[in-house]
Amino acid sequence: MKKFLLIVLLGISVNSFAQKGSWTGFIGDSHCGVKGNNADHASCAVKCVKDGAAPVLVVGDKVYKFADATKVADFVGKKVKIKGTLDGDTITIEKVKA
């Protein structure tokens, strides 16, 4: 019984840190950060990601990293809606839609 309660409590505590949700913003680059929060930044974001910066999601003045950035490779510079799970400032993507 003690093991069962420990497993349940551990599961609850792990789930409390990660939250499911959706976010709408621009896929920018880690070099420019919040400057990428508009369509005018698209060509710069594409260049920076091509030069090695990580793609990020910029929502207002908040920048989110991705657990697997390859899922947004085709969306750099574009406005997207992302569904997934947020853990800290990192999103694990379930779905991306432009």
Q: How far apart are CA 54 and CA 71, in angstroms?
A: 12
Q: How far apart are CA 93 and CA 83, in angstroms?
A: 6
Residues 19-41 pLDDT 10s: 999 999 999 999 999 999 999 99
Q: How far is CA 35 from CA 3, 61, 69, 87, in A?
A: 49, 9, 19, 23
Three-state secondary-structure class, residue 52: coil
Residues 43-61 pLDDT 10s: 999 999 999 999 999 999 9
pTM as predicted: 0.82
